[in-house]
Amino acid sequence: MWTFTANGWLYSQADRNGNTHRMRYDTDGELVSIVDTQDRVTTFDWEGGPNPTVTDPTGETATSHTWREGRDTSTLTDRAGQDIEFGYNDDNRLTSITGATGAVWRVAYNDEDQVTSLTVPDGSEEGATTTCSYADSALFNTQTTVTDPEGGESTLEFDDQGRQTSSTDQVGNTRSQTWTANSDVATTTDAVEPSVTYDYDAFNNLIGTELPTGAATSVGYTDTANPAKPTSVTTPDGDTLEMSYDSRGNLTSAMQEEMDIEVADIWYYPNGLVEQVTDAGGNATTYSYDRAGNMTLMSEPGPVGTMEFGYDALSRVTSVTDGNGTTLEYGYDRLDRVVSISHDGDLLQSIAYDGNGRQIATHTDQASIKHSYNGRGDLLETVRSDSSGRETTTYAYDNDGSDSDQLQSRTVNGQTETFTYDGLDRLTSDGTTDYTYDDVGNLLTAGTEEFTYNDADQVTTARGADVGHDAAGNMTSRGDRSFEYSATNQFLQDDENSDLAMWLSYDTTDQTQMRGVTEVHQGERIERQLSNTALGVTNIASGGERTSFVRDPDGKLVSMVAWDGNERFHYTTDHQNTVLALTAEDSEAEEPDVVYDYSPYGERAAESLEGTETASLSPLGSPVPTSSRTERCTSTTASMAPPPSISPSRSRPGRKRTSASAPWEIRSTTLIRSA
């Protein structure tokens, strides 16, 4: 709900639960303060120019401005005292932005004030320039041609209302869409021309979609008190999920009709904060909050212990105590970025950033890691230093992109596996193995293998072995094996029959950058040392031999190099970036050196050509044996650093999905090691 003064100034804004922001003005109509839902006041001072100096509720200056002629900002100063500078042409059009690190973005225009080029800093003197040309003036333009920095042209077409109707990429693939009279998308057509249609009701709610195959999804809106809230979704298979809401529009329950499963039952405090969520198994998680609305306690079903959270005046998480009673403290800089993680007064990790917010260094007792970037933000170099020396990894980039969706079938070496799903999109069969679940979504059987769970949805037995957990949710035992963890819940040690089987070390306080793995198997000791970047493992050294991994900017594997033979292998992956095969550089793609197959839950099998280098190499860029990883994956281990995103919801197994990769592909990776 919005309310206005007699002068038409916005006075207050309230959400559906009555949480209200209140605005105050001076006699000239300038906004002077905003009071948020927790009664914290942000003020605006207009005396210095046409845009205000902003002061946050703690009294700190959040933003200040200096001015050029007119009302244009020439310099913006942030809370940390960093300046961002703006340049303009004679028509007061923005022509340049200089970031806090000195990198410059430039914009050019034609006589119609249409943007003709955008130049972004990429480390070169000229920068990377994207140009635009137009078929007509800004008011009547129906076609725009965009030329990327490498000369590739894309064409965008628009109707007379400025709505995009088609796009043709650099290689001639065209995608199009049509519109309804209310400017809702009516149809979309992809590069191979099948069309998807969309249907709407009189209130512009999407009520149905139909694929080229005829498969249709429908959405119902039957709650008269909440006419824009969907009350049912029916899939092409006829499975229906029904949703209910309270009078304020908060979701209170979700029911899968055909399976008669209430997926969630949700209760709220009067201010709309979630009080309790009960899952399909009847197990409840409860939440408590302070007066400012920050979640302070989360109590899950036993045996998981209660988690506690502390905050500062800006509602930043300053401490997290897990179910084991272990507390981590977090420190922030003036731009709200985590700069330190501590435990019992001891600093575990420090983090530094550049002026554009990119992480440039982390320091732990184990190692220091530094990153450098070009002006565009591409990672150029990572340097890891410890007591034994220094490793430097450098990167170069190229253009690329990809996409993914739910896996329906997969064909490897002419054999097709077909996957089926139930009404909650849970895998029920891969054509060979059938899978069953409880109402909450926990896997109960995989073929002949069985799993049981406690009220906290933790595995208690798996494949005939008992599984134990601590109060923080870490798996501490499986059969005769026991597992140990750090204060930040990193997996450290695996004991089997009281003999040390494996221990691990890390460069960070979480599990993202493993440094060393030592294994003892049947009396044989194997040590592996890892080289990490922000993208993942790039090298594994063991027994005087080294294997390196080339990754794209999303961390996805591109190729593998065995240094002892200087032999390179290329990865073949499916649309979800699962490694299917490795092929030596001089081999035919149709005859890979090693082929991998997986169960839908990650167990890996391999078929290698006898005598090939790949038979002894790990294809996944990880030194941990697949069997060990799979066993530990039957329980989720909480990672406590950096501070978690606090949301009163519980994660559940779901479809494996990957996001589209960034349009830059690593062209080369170079590693230099010095003593």
pLDDT at 223: 94
Strand, helix or coil for residue 275: strand
CB 368 within 8 A of CB 384: yes
Q: Give the integer Cα–Cα distance in Å for 32 and 45.
A: 7
Which residues on neighbouring strands pair with residue 530, listed in sequence order?
540
Q: Give the integer Cα–Cα distance in Å for 144 and 167.
A: 10
Phi, psi of 653 (to 5 degrees): -60, 140
Q: Give the integer Cα–Cα distance in Å for 349 and 368.
A: 10
Question: Of 96-110, 352-366, 394-408, which one has max mean pLDDT?
Answer: 96-110
CB 431 within 8 A of CB 421: no
Stretch 643-655: mean pLDDT = 37
Percent of the chain exceeding pLDDT 70 equals: 79
pLDDT at 159: 94
- pLDDT over threshold 60, residue 612: no
Alpha-carbon distance values, 569 to 208, 393, 520, 529 (Å): 46, 19, 29, 21
- List the structure tokens of 419: 């996957």
Q: Give the integer Cα–Cα distance in Å for 425 and 403.
A: 20
- pLDDT over threshold 80, residue 650: no
Report residue 117's pLDDT band, with 50, 70 and 90 as the boundaries.
very high
Radius of gyration (C-alpha) of the chain in whole angstroms: 28
> What's the distance, Cα to Cα, between the start and end of the chain in Å?
65
pLDDT at 534: 61
Strand, helix or coil for residue 613: helix
- 366-393 tens-digit pLDDT: 888 898 888 777 788 888 888 878 877 7
CB atoms within 10 A of CB 601: 16
- List the structure tokens of 523: 């009396």
Q: Give the integer Cα–Cα distance in Å for 9 and 25.
A: 8
pLDDT at 199: 96
pLDDT at 131: 96
How confident is the prediction for the chain on average, in pLDDT?
79
3-state helix, strand, coil in the chain (%, to 5): 0, 50, 50
- pLDDT over threshold 50, residue 626: no
Alpha-carbon distance values, 61 to 25, 54, 74 (Å): 19, 6, 18
- 666-675 tens-digit pLDDT: 222 222 222 2
Report residue 466's pLDDT band, with 50, 70 and 90 as the boundaries.
very high
CB 558 within 8 A of CB 571: yes
Report residue 414's pLDDT band, with 50, 70 and 90 as the boundaries.
low
pLDDT at 659: 28
pLDDT at 413: 45
Q: Give the integer Cα–Cα distance in Å for 627 and 618.
A: 13
Stretch 629-658: mean pLDDT = 33
Q: String of b and e for 646-664 (b: at least 16 CB within 10 Å)?
A: bebeeeeeeeeeeeebeeb
Residues, the chain: 675
CB 204 within 8 A of CB 184: yes
Report residue 353's pLDDT band, with 50, 70 and 90 as the boundaries.
very high
pLDDT at 220: 96
CB 436 within 8 A of CB 445: yes
- pLDDT over threshold 80, residue 579: no
Q: Give the integer Cα–Cα distance in Å for 155 and 168.
A: 5
Percent of the chain exceeding pLDDT 90 equals: 32
**Non-local CB neighbours of 166 within 8 Å, separated by 6+ positions:** 155, 156, 157, 174, 175, 176, 177
pLDDT at 461: 92
* Between 299 and 497, residue with greater pLDDT: 299
Cβ-defined contacts of 317-321 (< 8 Å, 24+) = 317/643, 317/644, 317/646, 320/640, 320/643, 320/644
Report residue 363's pLDDT band, with 50, 70 and 90 as the boundaries.
very high
135-144, 158-167, 501-510: segment of lowest average pLDDT: 501-510
The overall longest dimension of the chain from CA atoms, in Å, is 85
> Which of 575, 578, 620 is closest to 599 using CA atoms?
578
- pLDDT over threshold 50, residue 624: no
> Which of 476, 154, 116 is closest to 324 using CA atoms?
476
- List the structure tokens of 213: 């195959």
- pLDDT over threshold 90, residue 274: yes
- pLDDT over threshold 90, residue 272: yes
CB 49 within 8 A of CB 65: yes
pLDDT at 673: 27
Stretch 209-238: mean pLDDT = 90
438-442, 456-460, 631-635: segment of lowest average pLDDT: 631-635
Report residue 602's pLDDT band, with 50, 70 and 90 as the boundaries.
low
pLDDT at 674: 29
Residue type, 659: S
- 497-522 tens-digit pLDDT: 656 678 888 777 777 777 788 887 77
pLDDT at 488: 76
* Between 408 and 117, residue with greater pLDDT: 117
Q: String of b and e for 167-178 (b: at least 16 CB within 10 Å)?
A: bbeeeeeeebbb
- pLDDT over threshold 70, residue 656: no
Cβ-defined contacts of 390-393 (< 8 Å, 24+) = 390/673, 390/674, 391/531, 391/539, 391/671, 391/672, 391/673, 392/671, 392/672, 392/673, 392/674, 393/531, 393/533, 393/538, 393/669, 393/670, 393/671
pLDDT at 384: 82
Q: Give the integer Cα–Cα distance in Å for 439 and 423.
A: 12
